[in-house]
Structure 1
Amino acid sequence: MSGSPRPTVHWQALALRPSGSGVQTYIRELLGALTPQLAAGGDPRLVAHVQRDAVDELPPGVEAAPHPVVDGARRALLGLALCTGSGLLHGLDVDLPLRHRGPTVVTVHDLSVFDVPWAHSRLRSRGEQALVARSLRRADAVVAVSGFTAERVRERFGREATVTHLAPSADMRPASSEEVERVRERYGLGTDSVLCVGTIEPRKRVPLLAQACEQAGVPLVLAGGLGEGQSVPSSARHLGYVPGEDLPALYAAAAVVAYVSTYEGFGLPPVEAMACGGAVVATRVGALPEVLEAEAAEALVPPDDVDALAAALRSAVRDADRNAALRAAGLRAVGHLGWERTAVTTLEVYRSLGVPC
């Protein structure tokens, strides 16, 4: 007599890339933490639907279902057309295919296409609004990366979401003093430099940051790509793309790491900078207050107050005691975040749907 059929867990992970954003960090780190926990609970078949160039990003024990390398609207259409068969399906970046036999879970990273549509192209806003709305209507369970995002999902769609915070990736840890000095010399980073890491796009408010740095009398250094139609402020120095292995030391080498986004579903870059021992000044938006709690709350400023931002930057750069306090507070603030905890909570969501894992 044969036993019960082997359960299958499918992950829609087309957003995973060989390097990149918080969504990609979420997929990579969550699968790495979830896989051994699922294996410990039985012998499920674990399948990740990824683009071909991201197959090597998957942890051992996960079967790759490779798909063509595409982006934008073509990736969205590919996600809708996926043939996943049966079993649990978890859309790790809110997308679900048109057809699937079995329970479904979606992770929502933010509702920026609804809340700040001006930060995206009109075509992207409309397309993603339709995709997000469809997924949230259809999913059996919803996961949100912060209490802020869960509240936005509740207010707009009437769905309850389980909160699973993101966390710094394993390589985001304080670098040695020798590595910090080596990276500082490599990039010509002054001891009074304000560093901003990430793609320059409207939501990141780089012109506002440049204005505040000029007002504070401190140099601004940008690391990352340029979004379509964006330019580098004339007062800033642009390093371009920085290899990921240099980021921990670069965060610590800067006098201040600034993050002045106008909207965030979570805000992983400042959290990673704090985990590396950086002194962070950021805007009080989205999930940052809940994630940083009281430990580093003084590092948060109102999102549109250039005077408050300039004052915070000036103090953090010029006052050595203040700078040291920000670095210590940041390390304490992110100490409670971890991918093992996120994986445990995610596994509880799977089990709540009757999945034997």
Structure 2
Amino acid sequence: MAISVDQLRRPQPGGIGTYVRGLLTGMQEHHGEWHVQEVGPPAIGTSRWGTVAEKLRGRYYAERWATSDVGVSALATVIHATTFTGPFGSPRPGLVRSVTLHDFVWRDQPESTTARGREFHESRFQLIRQRDDIRIFVTTPATAERVAAEGIDPSRIFEITLGLDRAREFSGDAASRLLAAHGITGPFTLCPGTIEPRKNLPRLIEAHRAARHRELGPLVFVGPQGWGGVTLEGAISLGPVDRGVLTGLLARAAVVAYVPLAEGWGLPPLEALNVGTRVVASSTVPSVQGRSDVVTVEALSVENIAEGLQRAIALPDDEATRSNRRSSVASLTWSSMAEQHIAGWQ
């Protein structure tokens, strides 16, 4: 089988990149039954010209994959597109073809992406909608309903649940050194994720100021700079870090705050629970809906976000409570997600 890994070649792989890595990890447990070919633009390097070359190759694959399976072994019996990039070659007997639809953000929050991004996602969605041979994986029941409402046969739609990395590589010391280098030695509020307009960061900054709770500490952002020129006025930005350091930061935070305007699934709040940390998240995040261990807030209300931060910091944080938070997400594994994919391919 072939799995596209183009998202991992991007400067900011984001949550979709985590999904791709997780699927590859989960499929390793089925190595005897499934031989996985990773397909996509080759990684060239992190130099200036290497990055430019990667972008050009990425565009080449995006264009070719609209109508072909360039780079995919002719022996593949399953071709899974982890994003709308593809590949979406012609149907052929005996081939199972699928794609993961992560969200409808390009429609729900059109201002959160570029005109080119909106056009690309809409055109690829229409391509997928018209191709009866393409099976569609989604992460929420609501998304499944929206896909079906587009006239797509429900038999083509399969729900999956994303997994979580188990905290094996826990770079706690590295996280502490990074915090100390930015003058942070006490409690802090952490907001993980790409810095972009959709993440609602100006309202979070204003709400954190309004909360005025000493135990919340400073507001700290961690993640790469995305598009849109978002200004983190008065806040501390650590930039991008590796997974081990991120886990250490999540574990050390007094509260993790994640209040996007729109979200496909929302791994960061669950990643925080996975290490026992208190969480504030906007009600737009599907992954926290119905959870009693997360303080949910209205993304458009600065006052409500501030109140949520105050409620979260007042929650118990003893080891027993932290253990309960960790246990609440213990069933979310990449292995089980891989099994859900396999069931959809059979």
Kindly state the Cα deviation for residue 208 of structure 1 after the two structures are TM-superposed: 0.6
Question: Cα deviations across residues 162-217 of structure 1 (Å, max 9, x unaligned)?
Answer: 111111123477776x6765554344335332111112111100001001001002
1:312: how far off?
Answer: 1.6
Q: Taking structure 1 as the reference length, what is the TM-score of the superposition?
A: 0.80
User: What amino acid is the match of 2:242?
Assistant: P
Amino-acid identity (%): 26
| Pairs within 5 Å for 1:87-98 | 87-94=77-84, 95-98=86-89
Q: CA deviation at 1:24?
A: 1.2
Q: Give the aligned residue type for 2:9.
A: R
Which of the numbers 161, 166, 181 marks the counterpart of 2:162?
166
Residues in 2 aligned to 1:183 and 1:203: alpha-carbon distance in whole angstroms? 26
What are the superposed Cα offsets for residues 78-118 of structure 1, whole Å, 9 maximum, x if unpaired?
43243344622111113332435322111111111122211
Residue by residue over 1:297-316, the C-alpha shift from the partner in whole angstroms, topping out at 9 and shown as x without a partner, is 4x111222221210121233
Contact 2:276–2:324, Cα closer than 8 Å, also in 1: no
What is the DSSP-based 3-state SS (H/G/I as helix, E as strand, rest coil) of the residue aligned with 1:321?
coil
Q: Which residue of 1 aligns with 2:263?
A: 264
Determine if contact 1:316/1:322 at 8 Å carries over to the other structure: no
Of 301, 305, 312, which residue of structure 1 is paired with 2:301? 305
Alignment check: 8 A CA contact 2:106 2:118 kept:
yes
Alignment of 1:288-299 (within 5 A): 288-290=287-289, 293-297=290-294, 299=295
Q: How far apart are the structure 1 equivalents of 2:39 and 2:7?
A: 10
Alignment RMSD: 2.9
CA contact (8 A) 1:252 1:279 kept: no
Query: Do 1:105 and 1:140's aligned partners in 2 also have CA atoms closer than 8 Å?
Result: yes
Equivalent of 1:194 in 177, 183, 189: 189
Alpha-carbon separation, structure 1, partners of 2:196 and 2:153: 30
Aligned to 2:113: 120
Matched residue SS, 1:53 = coil
Letter in 1 for 2:240: Y
Give the CA deviation at 1:49. Answer: 0.8
Matched, 1:111 2:101: no
Task: Give 2:8's aligned residue.
Answer: 16
| Pair 200,157 (structure 1): closer, same or farther in 2 beyond 3 Å | farther
Q: Distance in 1 between matches of 2:311 and 2:194?
A: 26
The equivalent of 1:155 in structure 2 is: 149
The Cα of 1:22 is off from its aligned counterpart by 1.4
Q: Which residue, 26, 32, 37 being the options, matches 1:40?
A: 32
1:41-120 → structure 2 map (5 Å cutoff): 41=33, 45-53=35-43, 69-70=54-55, 73-80=59-66, 81-83=68-70, 84=72, 85=74, 87-94=77-84, 95-101=86-92, 102-120=95-113
What are structure 1's unaligned runs of at least 5 residues? Answer: 1-8, 56-67, 352-357
Long gaps (5+) in structure 2: 46-52
How many angstroms apart in 2 are the aligned matches of 1:157 and 1:74? 31
Give the whole-Å Cα distance in 2 for the aligned partners of 1:172 and 1:197: 19
Residues 350, 79 of structure 1: CA spacing in aligned structure 2 closer, same or farther, 3 A cutoff?
A: same
* 1:58-96 CA-partner distances (Å, limit 9, x unpaired): xxxxxxxxxx73367545214324334462211111333
Residues 17, 296 of structure 1: alpha-carbon distance in 2 compared, 3 angstrom cutoff: farther
| Matched residue, 1:61 | none
Deviations 1:230-284 (A, max 9, x none): 2333221222222332111111212111100111111012211221222211111
Count the aligned residue pairs: 323
Correspondence 1:229-268 to 2 at 5 A: 229-268=228-267
Contact 2:200 2:299 in 1 (8 A): no
Tell me the secondary structure at the aligned position of residue 258 of structure 1. strand
1:137 Cα deviation (Å)?
2.6
SS of the equivalent of 1:105 reads: strand
Q: Distance in 1 between matches of 2:310 and 2:319?
A: 14
Note if contact 2:197-2:228 (Cα within 8 Å) is conserved in structure 1: no
- Shift of the 326–212 alpha-carbon distance from structure 1 to 2, 3 Å rule, reads farther
* Bigger mean CA offset, 339-348 vs 82-91: 82-91
Q: Deviations over 1:20-72 (max 9, x none)?
A: 311111111212212432x433xx553221221299xxxxxxxxxxxx73367
Q: 1:329 to 1:312 in 2, by over 3 A?
A: farther
**Residues 234/14 of structure 1: CA separation in 2 closer, same or farther (3 Å cut):** closer
